[in-house]
Structure 1
Amino acid sequence: MGRRALEIERDALEALLPRIDERFARACELMLACTGRVVVIGMGKSGHIGGKIAATLASTGTPAFFVHPGEASHGDLGMITRQDVVLAISYSGETAEIITLLPLLKRLQVPLIAMTGKPASTLAQAAEVHLDVSVAMEACPLNLAPTASTTATLAMGDALAVALLEARGFTPEDFALSHPGGSLGRRLLLKIADVMHSGDRLPTVAETATLSEALLEMTRKGLGMTAIVDASGTALGVFTDGDLRRVLDAGIDVRNTPIREVMTRGGKSIGPQQLAAEAVALMEKHKITSLLVKDESARLVGVVHMHDLLRAGVV
């Protein structure tokens, strides 16, 4: 029965593909042109699905909220303004609490988008745009409980949200602004400048320093590396624990060898205003544990280590 339910719902989703047509495009146009909010309404299971659709729209760049149609008849209709668009969800298209609102919505001259399974229904006929979410059958063996129909409605809502996201040029940074909490917010909002080591915590030695002096600096700062800079503070290279192992294997004189002879020239770097998540990607790509942080004039301003990203919850 579980497999049968999934097969029925899969078929319901496949049946939606040809319905992404000019009516779908028109619904998107109405939402894009909206200067207010997309107000989603629905009763029962359709209401639960409507709440999720409103939340998805709101988090992907289309301001939206859910209004219970029963409460709308008792004062909450005041939440809807002439600048809004209403998305009404009712599989039958005859839900009494929604039908009651139609004359009031018409009086407000609010564009109405309907999602129903009955194109000939009262709601579908009253709407400026009707999106057909009808299914051949419900996954419920009694063909009664909303199952495949709610899945189809939710998927159509996701299709709208994703199409609008793309049309608006919505970026990961935009997404982060509505998701500041938790690991997602940290990954998308945290900048390198927020976690890098700078000032007295930044391990650096002059290009004239010896290898032994560089090792002392690495020990003091505890990052397993040091940057090598010239007199103007420009980073010339980096020396890490890995470089030290290679030096020891080669039998090089640790005490007297100039650091400039054994450092890795250049070194991988990142800007202070780039996302911390970008540092993770760079470190994973190059199999390293730290990055130099340089400003726009290539001057060294900090170092970021994988441990900093771990503590910040970015990884």
Structure 2
Amino acid sequence: MNNFSKIAKDVINIEAQSIIELTQFIDVNFETACQLMLETKGRVIVIGMGKSGHIGGKIAATFASTGTPAFFVHPGEASHGDLGMITPEDIVLAISNSGETGEVLSILPVIKRIGAKLIAMSSNPNSTLAKLSDTHVCNKVSQEACPLGLAPTSSTTATLVIGDAMAVALLNARGFTADDFALSHPGGSLGKRLLLRLQDIMHTGERLPVVDQHAKVKDALVEMSLKGLGMTAITNQEHALIGLFTDGDLRRILDAKIDIHQDNISSVMTKTPTTAPQSMLAAEALKIMEDKKINGLIIVDEHNKPIGAMNMHDLLTSGVL
């Protein structure tokens, strides 16, 4: 009987140990590699063959999305024209577990002639690739997770981790922010969480629920029903916000002796409502609403005048929630 679970756990334990052992290679060579990539006026060109190439593609993508311009070049295609993508101002990150991969070594003379700096990543600091590089970052593992010791497993994981370590170190050195990250991730829910602001989703104009402070409770209820946001803003004669009335407030006054036809809305409104500026990130507004356990927000201008309104449903339909 196959013991899939035991084998899987063994693989995870072996690879986890391999990752821990990588800390010994975070040294002056790693620092030099990061400094070269930080100071370059060009791009980081990642090359690698086979499994190293697959990992190299992911490393290049991670660099690019975290503030370090980068792309992957296949060494086989490089010798058939793609070397023209590399300029003297670029940094080449060449990945080869053995440091002796023929397709990678064959294009190094051209890279040297172009004048681009070369960072090598391999398990052998005495390899040809390492000796030809400006700096060498070691990613050696003590054991592959493959029981035959043949299939790249721990070694490819180690390479990916070193690449992530470089990307995050560079991200920190550049002062890369969430807003910067959003600019390279505008699509999908991630982009929406990072880029969308209240001004993009708030209800404005005739869709904004608002009544005067002298309005009767019934008038406020009609306004809430018409606008469908479960709340209405209350303003004074200068049109500044002085209160808010919500579905929750309505439930609280049901047992009170309130005459909805005679009593003014100002007598039952919440006098210190939570507000937000239109420039606030929608994700930030969501955090405020969750913390305060409220379902909606009135958006005000610099004079505290209501200019918009939104609720949890708006966050849901916009993809933020």
TM class, shorter-chain normalised? Answer: over 0.9
* Cα deviations by residue, 1:11-69 (Å, 9 ceiling, x for unpaired): 11000123222222221111111111100000000000000000011111111000001
CA contact (8 A) 1:227 1:237 kept: yes
2:310 match? 304
SS at match of 1:173: helix
Deviations 1:140-181 (CA, angstroms, capped at 9, x unpaired): 111011000000000000111111111111111211111111
What is the SS of the residue equivalent to 2:172? helix
Residue 286 in structure 1 maps to residue 306 in structure 2: no
Amino acid at match of 1:130: H
Whichever residue aligns with residue 291 of structure 2, its letter is K
Aligned position for 1:121: 127
Is 1:111 matched with 2:123?
no
TM-score between both structures, scaled by the size of structure 2: 0.95
Give, as a single letter, the amino acid of the residue that structure 1 aligns with 2:295: T
Aligned position for 1:100: 106
Q: Which runs of 5+ in 1 are unaligned?
A: none
Whether 2:261 is the aligned partner of 1:255: answer: yes
- TM-score with structure 1 setting the length: 0.97
Q: C-alpha offsets along residues 202-221 of structure 1, whole Å, 9 cap, x if unaligned?
A: 00011121212111111111
Q: Where do residues 147-296 of structure 1 align in structure 2 (5 Å cutoff)?
A: 147-296=153-302
Offset of residue 253 of structure 1: 2.1
Q: CA deviation at 1:295?
A: 2.1
Question: Aligned partners of 1:266, 1:22: CA distance in 2, in Å?
Answer: 57
8 A contact 1:172–1:188 mirrored in 2: yes
Which of 28, 36, 47 matches 2:34? 28
Match of 1:9 among 15, 30, 34: 15
Corresponding position of 2:3: none
Distance in 1 (alpha carbons) for counterparts of 2:134 and 2:89: 15
Q: Which runs of 5+ in 2 are unaligned?
A: 1-6
Residues 46 and 91 of structure 1 are in contact (CA less than 8 Å); yes or no, is this contact kept in structure 2?
yes
For 1:276 and 1:242, the matched residues in 2 are separated by 23
Amino acid at match of 2:26: I
Check the 8 A contact 1:225/1:240 in 2, yes or no: yes
Query: What amino acid is aligned across from residue 84 of structure 1 in structure 2?
Result: D
Distance in 2 between residues matched to 1:84 and 1:95, nearest whole Å: 22
Q: Percent identity?
A: 58
The aligned counterpart of 1:91 is 97
Q: Secondary structure at the match of 1:237?
A: strand
Pick the aligned partner of 1:137 from 116, 134, 143: 143
Query: Structure 2 matches for 1:44-55, cutoff 5 A?
Result: 44-55=50-61
* Structure 1 contact 9–139 (Cα < 8 Å) conserved: yes
SS at match of 1:83: coil
Instruction: Give the aligned residue type for 2:115.
Output: Q
* SS at structure 2 position matched to 1:65: strand
Q: Report the Cα distance in structure 2 between the residues aligned to 1:302 and 1:173, rounded to whole angstroms.
A: 24
Instruction: Decide whether the 8 Å contact of 1:34 with 1:85 is kept in 2.
Output: yes
Q: Report the Cα distance in structure 1 between the residues aligned to 2:301 and 2:135, rounded to whole angstroms.
A: 52
Is the Cα–Cα contact under 8 Å of residues 235 and 266 in structure 1 kept in the other structure? Answer: no
